[in-house]
Amino acid sequence: MKFVDEFRTPELIGKAGEEIRRLADPSRHYRIMEVCGGHTHAIYRFGLKDLLPSNVELIHGPGCPVCVLPMGRIDDGLALAAQSDFIFAAFGDMMRVPGTHGSPLEYKARGMDVRIVYSPADALKLARNNPEKHVMFFAIGFETTAPSTALTLMRAKTEGLSNFSVFCNHVTIIPAIRAILDSPDMRLDGFVGPGHVSTVIGCRPYDWIAKDERKPVVVSGFEPLDILQSIVMLLRQLRKGEARVENQYKRVVPWEGNRAALRAMGEVFELRPYFEWRGLGFISQSALKIRPSYAQWDSEQRFTVPGVRVTDPKAAQCGEVLKGVLKPVQCKLFGRECTPEQPVGALMVSSEGSCAAYFNYEHRKPVTIATVAAN
Amino acid sequence: MATPAPKIRFREPQIEMAHGAGGKASRRLVEGLFAPLLFGSSQGPLGDAAHIQINGTRIAMTTDSFVVKPLRFPGGSIGELAINGTVNDLAVSGARAEAIVVTFVLEAGLPTDILEAEVRAMGQAAEDAGVMIAGGDTKVVEHGKADHMYVTTTGIGRLLSGVIISPQTVQPGDKVLLSGPIGDHGITILLARGDLDLEADLRSDTRSVFPLVQALVHQAGAGVRWMRDPTRGGVATSLNELARDSGCGIVLFEEKLPVRDSVRGACELLGLDPLHIANEGQFLAIVSSDHAESALQALRATPGGEEAVMIGEVREQPASAVLVTTLYGGSRLVDMLVGDPLPRIC
Amino acid sequence: MCLAIPGKIVELDAQNPLQAVVDVVGVRRKVDLGLLQDEPPVPGDWVLIHVGFAMSKISEADAADQMRTLTMLGEAEAAMEEVRGYGLEDKEPHSPGQGWKQ
């Protein structure tokens, strides 16, 4: 696969690993946060931690849109769609996320019409093909996905399609990073920046992290070589005491972002004054809602949302793991009451959640990589 | 002396799609509900087929049901799956399929020509596999209750001599052989549903693997420790079951895993792992190290086995788990399928 | 979901130039080009696909550039070490922990 396989070349990965070991000052312990859930997933899937020296630590950030969604919003979405002529449409990742009375898949087993879609455009197609039903698309995602939802809403409006609405849970990445940096428990040296969010928002939004917080940010791609090269670039800056924003993912990310995507978002969405994030609490100006001009296609403006706040089960430590304060294995429920098949929190369900990634790819691995490398 | 009442360990209040997916949920249902109530305490690890002794003759017996949607897809249909699936379950337990009985649950309103096409397909598949169809049963249910048709096949077979297949015989040093590329069937079905705007030049791999099994057993005899056909849940699920049953660790080499480009592309597009995708014409074999190379050559020399490959080996660590390693020294655990990303694929 | 995949545009929809078919190693998928309408891609271009929409064009030049940089990782250091090995810079014997390549 072009633009994929080259960035998985074993010899170059070995070289990058060596360069990291060479650059890492043995008297320092580096704490680097990868913000984006896709990076967390890639790090585990490719076993990249095995290649890093012990003094370069990767902390998983809150960039997993499923993981940060409070349970109350899932309950709200399911309650809305519980009407008999509704179709509840969402991405596959949402399907097993537990609400108070079950996950979307469990609701499906009890008779609700629940469909997996791979694109908001699929949800719109469902509405066109099922005129007697109302299709409610449960939208999640950061700025990577929001423009696609926006375009889909614009299309729905142009077509005058009346049996389609979006329950919008899009969130924005910068307030989440700010919340992390404001947290007293967090000491970080630098960031592996979200690669795909940046194709939309560009690299400028991270300037304040470098200028005000004095921490380097390297916007990174998702292949093993991308992530390793980004760590090399971060270590180079840290060795020289620099703090700049760099773009490692140049082949895809334009420094100024995608104007058409930002326009579409601006046309359809506005910022909510505040929104609750699982684990991070209420954050102002951190989430998107649909503008009054699109009220007819906004599930929340068109229908009544219960709006019940649901706190996480007390024993679950999703919040601290999300912020990177705790490692997944330090949560009391990890691997016991909370597993990928019977998840308590969303971090164990989503393929980008750090608990799921750790459990699926790492948890029972033998400690020494010598055993593994000797093949 | 009264036997203690069987203990039900299955605690879930309702049956979900995942319980039929072949992964962890399926295993919980079988081990937690069916096994205690039906199999008694003497039952060992559950295999693809049961071995029964009748008057000194060892025969193998197996059953399987097919609920695939859509009924027809590139490379085959429910008819072929129903015959090959049972022939293969017998083959990987070391037996030649001798006779199959078929049951149909048909939906009222099913056009006869659809039924006829499937029956023809079954007849042809049985002929190709050299197995007799000995009888069957038919039931019809109301419209809407059977999604065209559900098919169950039950087969018996005679065990090949010299074959002792058991997870207990698997030991560190043994090699893992795979008969050919993985993921073809599951992805073909997914694309055939037409829900995703995806197209690819892919066919289901449904076929009888008995000729390959026979060649393998002929070459390696008692060196063949264990076999399985990785259907629902894929290679990852089958090998995890083995790892659990044997207590050994299984290490797979990522660069050796045979996956067609289009299967890989579809998996990347959909966020799926080829190791979890169902196959209907492949099998896994654990072979002792002294026989592994010649066994591999024997497979490759048999028509249909040209793409056979050694994908890994058995080790002590990680115990009871499956690890995939990469050329650059990274590794990840791969677990049994959780949930069901691809329902109704076989 | 951050999942995004590179694909090559093989065909534009005759009725709607903002809809296209992309090829990802032999799998063809319909993709929406609406987010790239300011500079619409043409058949032969590579794009990054996320949830059925093209997010960005992929620059082959930048990718090749990056591969070159990656290939040279550590080589600049190796060249310098060779020069130092000529003994022109200082009189101390080189050993690990002296600050050269570990």
Structural element, H or E, at residue A63 = strand A56-63
Could you tell me the end-to-end alpha-carbon distance of chain B, in angstroms, rounded to an integer?
A: 44
Counting every residue written for chain B, the total comes to 346
- A115 within some domain: yes
> Which residue has tokens 């659990």?
B244
How much is the average pLDDT of B83-95?
96
Cis check: omega of the bond before B70, within 30 degrees of 0: yes
The minimum CA-CA distance between C4 and chain A, rounded to whole Å, is: 8
Task: Determine the 3-state secondary structure of C32 from DSSP.
Answer: strand
How much is the average pLDDT of B78-99?
96
C-alpha distances out from residue B173 to B170, B298, B313, B315, Å? 9, 20, 6, 6
Confidence of residue C91 (pLDDT cuts 50, 70, 90): very low
Q: Would you call A199 and C55 a contact, using CB atoms and an 8 Å cutoff?
A: yes
Q: What is the domain-level CATH number for residue A145?
A: 3.40.50.11740
**Strand partners of residue B177:** B285, B310
pLDDT of residue C78: 63
Angle at B292 (CA atoms; ends B286, B296), nearest 5 degrees: 100
**Residue B115 sits in the same domain as residue B171:** no
- Residues of A within 8 A of B318 (CB-CB) are 364-366
A152-184 per-position pLDDT tens digit: 999 999 999 999 999 999 999 999 999 989 888
Q: Give the integer Cα–Cα distance in Å for A298 and A137.
A: 10
Domain boundary among the residues B106, B130, B159 is at B159
The minimum CA-CA distance between A212 and chain B, rounded to whole Å, is: 36
Q: What is the mean pLDDT of chain A?
A: 91
Closest CA to A225 of A3, A7, A1, A2: A7
Confidence of residue A319 (pLDDT cuts 50, 70, 90): confident
Confidence of residue A1 (pLDDT cuts 50, 70, 90): confident
- B75 within some domain: yes
**Chain A residue closest to C36 (CA)?**
A260
- B207 within some domain: yes
**Residue A161 sits in the same domain as residue A224:** no
pLDDT of A372 strictly over 60: no
Q: What is the mean pLDDT of chain C?
A: 80
**Residue A96 sits in the same domain as residue A148:** yes
Q: Are B89 and B48 in contact (CB under 8 A)?
A: yes
Q: Give the integer Cα–Cα distance in Å for B319 and A306.
A: 48
**Chains A, C: CB pairs < 8 Å:** 133
**Residue B222 sits in the same domain as residue B202:** yes
Q: Provide, rounded to the nearest whole percent, the portion of chain A with pLDDT above 90.
A: 64
pLDDT of A369 strictly over 70: no
- Residues of A within 8 A of C25 (CB-CB) are 1
Q: Provide, rounded to the nearest whole percent, the portion of chain C with pLDDT above 70.
A: 72
pLDDT of A368 strictly over 50: no
pLDDT of B13 strictly over 80: yes
Chain A touching partners, 3 or more CB pairs below 8 A: B, C
pLDDT of A264 strictly over 60: yes
Q: Give the integer Cα–Cα distance in Å for B11 and A264.
A: 48
- A372 within some domain: no
A110-152 per-position pLDDT tens digit: 889 999 888 999 999 999 999 999 999 999 999 999 999 999 9
Confidence of residue B337 (pLDDT cuts 50, 70, 90): confident
Q: Please state at what angle helix A354-361 crosses helix A37-45, rounded to 10 degrees.
A: 10
pLDDT of residue B321: 93
Which of C8, C38, C51, C68 should one mutate to test binding to chain A, selecting the residue with the greatest count of A CBs within 10 A? C51
Q: Both tokens of residue A316? A: 């679950």
Lowest mean pLDDT among A181-190, A267-276, B301-310: A181-190
Q: What is the domain-level CATH number for residue A203?
A: 3.40.50.11750
**Residue A81 sits in the same domain as residue A164:** yes
Residue C42: phi and psi, rounded to 5, are -120, 165
Can you list the domains of chain C with their CATH numbers? 5-58 (2.30.30.140), 60-89 (no CATH)
- Residues of A within 8 A of B315 (CB-CB) are 371
Structural element, H or E, at residue B155 = strand B149-159
The minimum CA-CA distance between C3 and chain B, rounded to whole Å, is: 7
Lowest mean pLDDT among B120-124, B239-243, C49-53, C88-92: C88-92
- Residues of A within 8 A of C53 (CB-CB) are 119, 121, 147-148, 151
- Taking only residues 76 to 105 of chain A, the set having a beta carbon closer than 8 angstroms to any beta carbon of chain B reads 92, 95-96, 105
**Residue A183 sits in the same domain as residue A287:** no
Q: Would you call C74 and A18 a contact, using CB atoms and an 8 Å cutoff?
A: yes
**Residue A26 sits in the same domain as residue A56:** yes
- Residues of C within 8 A of A229 (CB-CB) are 66, 69-70, 73
Q: Are B308 and B220 in contact (CB under 8 A)?
A: no
Radius of gyration of chain B (CA): 20
**Residue A45 sits in the same domain as residue A79:** no
Q: What is the domain-level CATH number for residue B249?
A: 3.90.650.10
Angle at A49 (CA atoms; ends A47, A54), nearest 5 degrees: 155
- Residues of C within 8 A of A1 (CB-CB) are 6, 24-25
CB neighbours of A305 closer than 8 A, spacing ≥ 6? A76, A79, A80, A299
- Taking only residues 253 to 272 of chain B, the set having a beta carbon closer than 8 angstroms to any beta carbon of chain C reads 261-262, 264-266, 268-269, 271
Residue A303's Cβ-side half-sphere holds a number of Cα atoms within 13 Å equal to 24
Confidence of residue A73 (pLDDT cuts 50, 70, 90): very high
**Residue B148 sits in the same domain as residue B279:** no
Angle at A219 (CA atoms; ends C55, A176), nearest 5 degrees: 90
Confidence of residue A312 (pLDDT cuts 50, 70, 90): confident
Q: Would you call A144 and C50 a contact, using CB atoms and an 8 Å cutoff?
A: yes
Angle at B182 (CA atoms; ends A228, C47), nearest 5 degrees: 45
pLDDT of B1 strictly over 60: no
C-alpha distances out from residue A305 to A78, A308, A362, B167, B233, Å? 10, 9, 40, 54, 38
Q: Give the integer Cα–Cα distance in Å for A41 and C1.
A: 10
Angle at B35 (CA atoms; ends B223, B42), nearest 5 degrees: 60
What pTM value is reported for the model?
A: 0.86
Candidate from B16, B326, B338 with C-beta closest to A46:
B326
Residue B78: phi and psi, rounded to 5, are -60, -35
**Residue A100 sits in the same domain as residue A224:** no
**Residue A164 sits in the same domain as residue A186:** no
Candidate from C25, C59, C77 with C-beta closest to A251:
C59
**Residue A147 sits in the same domain as residue A81:** yes
pLDDT of A224 strictly over 50: yes
Of residues B246 and B163, more confidently modeled: B246
Residue A188's Cβ-side half-sphere holds a number of Cα atoms within 13 Å equal to 33
**Residue B284 sits in the same domain as residue B311:** yes
Confidence of residue A373 (pLDDT cuts 50, 70, 90): very low
- B264 within some domain: yes
- Taking only residues 4 to 63 of chain A, the set having a beta carbon closer than 8 angstroms to any beta carbon of chain B reads 4, 10, 13-14, 17, 44-48, 50-51
Residue A312: phi and psi, rounded to 5, are -65, 155
Q: Where do the H-state alpha helices sit in chain A?
A: 10-23, 37-45, 71-81, 104-109, 120-129, 146-159, 173-182, 195-201, 207-211, 224-239, 259-268, 299-302, 318-323, 354-361, 369-373
Of residues B316 and A279, more confidently modeled: B316
Domain boundary among the residues B108, B138, B159 is at B159
C-alpha distances out from residue C88 to C74, C77, C96, Å? 21, 17, 19
B180-213 per-position pLDDT tens digit: 999 999 999 999 987 777 889 999 999 999 999 9
Q: Would you call B325 and A1 a contact, using CB atoms and an 8 Å cutoff?
A: no
- A312 within some domain: no
A93 interfacial to chain C (CB closer than 8 Å) = yes
Confidence of residue C96 (pLDDT cuts 50, 70, 90): very low
Angle at A216 (CA atoms; ends A213, A218), nearest 5 degrees: 135
Domain boundary among the residues B124, B159, B194 is at B159
pLDDT of C99 strictly over 60: no
Q: How many CB atoms lie within 10 A of CB B137?
A: 10
Q: Would you call C6 and A91 a contact, using CB atoms and an 8 Å cutoff?
A: no
Candidate from B321, B328, B339 with C-beta closest to A10:
B328
Question: Beta C46-50 vs C5-12: how paired, if at all?
Answer: antiparallel
The letter for the amino acid at A337 is: E
Q: How many domains does chain A have?
A: 3
Confidence of residue A273 (pLDDT cuts 50, 70, 90): very high
Lowest mean pLDDT among A264-268, B153-157, C60-64: C60-64
How much of chain A is in helix, strand and coil states, percent to nearest 5?
Answer: 45, 20, 40
CB neighbours of C14 closer than 8 A, spacing ≥ 6? none
* Domain residue limits at B181: 167-333
Q: Give the integer Cα–Cα distance in Å for A198 and A261.
A: 11
